[in-house]
Each structure stands twice: as C-alpha cells, then as structure tokens.
C-alpha cells in the first residue's frame, strides 16, 4: 500500500522547511535565559527604581515639580539607552543561537527566516520590557495622584522601542557579520551620538537618534538642547508620523539586505 508515502514526504518537508512561526517560537524558547532575559527584566526595574528614589528624595523641594522633571527624564533616559539595549539583545541572541544556527544552517531552507525570527523574537522581548517600565511608572503615577501620566508612560516607553527597530536590525546584522564587537560598536556609538543628535535639526540623518527625538514631545523633556532656537518646535507631536514612516522604510531595507547576506553567507 502506498498511502503512507505522502505523509512521510509531508513530514520531511515540514522538518526541512520550518515555518516562520515555528522558528519564532524556537527563538523565544532559546531567549528565555541569558543576556536577553536579563536585559528585558533588569533595565525597566533599574530605571523605575531610580525614578522612585529621585522622586522620594526630592519630594521636599516641591513634589509636583520634582515629579514632572523625573517623569520626563526617566522616559528620556530610556530612549537614549535604546541603541545600547539593541546591542545587548543582539549579543544575547547570538550567544543563544550559536549552536542552533550551526544545525539549522545545514537544512535546505532560506536562512533569512532565522534572521526574521530572531528580530521578531527580540522585538517581542523588548516590547515586554517597555510594558514593564510603563506599568511601573503608571503605578507610581496612580500612587502620586496623577493618573493622566499613566497613558503618557505607556506611550513614552513603547515609542522608543518602535523607533529603535532599524537599530536593532543593524545590531543583529553586525553580529552576524563581525560578532559581538560589531553589535557593541553600533550600540555604544548609537547611544552616544543618538543622545547628542536627538534634539538637533539633523536628527533624521542618524537613525539611533530617532528614539530620542520621538520621546521628547511625549515626555515633554527638552533634551540636551532646544530646536526652538532654530525655528523648529521641539515638543510638536507632528514628528511622530515622520519617524514611523522612516522606521518602516529603513527596517525594510535593512531586512532585505540582511536576507541577501545570510542566504549567501558561507559557514
């Protein structure tokens, strides 16, 4: 009887050509431990603790002024750190995937699926981290009797993560090409120059500055300087759609280039 034969072929085909959903679930499973997990959990807790301590210590000097200052500054610091966090996530994924990739690369399916799965998994973890930070700050806002800041906390925590998608993709590709050193260089340079360029008129030239520029009008934090002197309203929300379009466009280009690279890469 020849009836079982199609099933055997189907099973072999499924093993040799895993879907993106399957690869994503495997990537998330590998990232449950190690650097990526610690980055997800430790960063929001540390920032929320800094925020709580600063507000508590400065409460005697005017609670409302201290709250407004540190509320905006905490979200601003979160945005400034996004390039370095992207590098940490990329390094963590590389450490977790090193052995798995050696095995998966022997199968005859497009390697770009592994790249896409890694980026999606890291974005999922990063979004969880952002939601943790937002929830902690929102809880502090409710305790401070300023519930209106709870929504701002979620917007200010999620916006930098979305704006940092091209930087994350770049860090993952740098890790693929040059190892840990590549992602580290991108993260350090992105954090330094992103903080310096985020409130300048040329912010759009440097993608790692996009998270900083995007959070400034949400957190109502002036950053290191002011665009108002150059005739550009620093706190205008009109910049957010521009950043969103730029993020989608650049991320698509980087993923396309990365797909070509990993598909042709020799092991």
Nearest one of 223, 249, 229, 227 to 238, comparing CA atoms? 227
Please tell me the total number of residues recorded for the chain in this structure.
267
3-state secondary structure 96-120: HHHHHHHHHCCCCCCCHHHHHHHHH
Host H or E run for residue 167? helix 165-178
Q: Across the chain, where does the E strand assignment appear?
A: none
Does position 63 have pLDDT exceeding 80, yes or no? no
In the chain, the percentage of residues whose pLDDT exceeds 70 is 82
Mean pLDDT of the chain: 85
Nearest one of 76, 7, 86 to 47, comparing CA atoms? 76
And the tokens for 119? Answer: 């980026």
Does position 16 have pLDDT exceeding 70, yes or no? no
SS3 of 199, please? coil
Virtual CA dihedral for 121, 135, 45, 47, nearest 10 degrees?
Answer: 100
Query: For the whole model, what pTM was predicted?
Result: 0.87
Are the beta carbons of 47 and 79 closer than 8 angstroms?
no
pLDDT at 34: 86
The rounded distance, in Å, linking the Cα atoms of 245 and 240 is 9
For 84-125, write each residue's pLDDT tens digit: 999 999 999 988 876 666 666 666 667 888 899 999 999 999
Confidence of residue 44 (pLDDT cuts 50, 70, 90): very high
Does position 6 have pLDDT exceeding 50, yes or no? no
Q: Count the neighbouring beta carbons within 10 Å of the beta carbon of residue 9.
A: 10
In the chain, the percentage of residues whose pLDDT exceeds 90 is 52
For 158-197, write each residue's pLDDT tens digit: 999 999 999 999 999 999 889 899 999 999 999 999 988 8
For 133-142, write each residue's pLDDT tens digit: 999 999 999 8
Are the beta carbons of 94 and 179 closer than 8 angstroms?
yes
Nearest one of 161, 225, 237, 170 to 199, comparing CA atoms? 225
Alpha-carbon distances, residue 4 vs 14, 15, 18, 52, 188 (angstroms)? 16, 17, 21, 64, 56
SS3 of 31, please? coil
> HSE of 246 in the Cβ direction (CA atoms, 13 Å)?
19
CA angle 190–27–214, rounded 5-degree value: 30
And the tokens for 155? Answer: 């917007």
For 216-263, write each residue's pLDDT tens digit: 999 887 665 544 544 456 778 889 999 999 999 999 999 999 999 988
Are the beta carbons of 170 and 258 closer than 8 angstroms?
no
| Between residues 25 and 10, the one the model is more confident about | 25
Are the beta carbons of 137 and 147 closer than 8 angstroms?
no
């Amino acid at each position: 009887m020849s009836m079982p034969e199609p099933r055997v072929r189907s099973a072999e085909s499924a093993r040799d050509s895993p879907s993106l959903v399957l690869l994503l679930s495997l990537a998330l499973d590998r990232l449950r431990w190690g650097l990526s997990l610690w980055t997800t959990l430790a960063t929001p807790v540390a920032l929320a603790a800094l925020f709580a301590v600063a507000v508590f210590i400065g409460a005697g000097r005017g609670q409302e002024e201290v709250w407004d200052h540190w509320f905006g500054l905490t979200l601003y610091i979160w945005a400034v750190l996004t390039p370095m966090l992207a590098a940490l996530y990329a390094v963590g994924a590389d450490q977790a995937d090193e052995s798995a990739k050696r095995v998966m690369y022997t199968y005859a399916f497009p390697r770009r699926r592994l790249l896409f799965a890694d980026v999606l998994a890291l974005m999922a973890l990063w979004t969880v981290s952002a939601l943790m930070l937002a929830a902690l700050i929102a809880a502090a806002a409710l305790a401070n009797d300023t519930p209106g800041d709870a929504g701002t906390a979620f917007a200010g925590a999620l916006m930098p993560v979305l704006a940092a998608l091209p930087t994350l993709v770049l860090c993952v590709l740098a890790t693929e090409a040059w190892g840990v050193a590549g992602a580290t260089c991108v993260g350090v340079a992105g954090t330094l120059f992103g903080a310096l360029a985020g409130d300048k008129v040329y912010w759009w030239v440097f993608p790692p500055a996009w998270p900083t520029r995007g959070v400034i009008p949400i957190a109502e934090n002036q950053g290191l300087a002011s665009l108002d002197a150059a005739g550009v309203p620093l706190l205008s929300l009109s910049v957010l759609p521009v950043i969103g379009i730029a993020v989608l466009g650049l991320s698509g280009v980087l993923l396309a280039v990365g797909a070509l690279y990993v598909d042709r890469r020799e092991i």
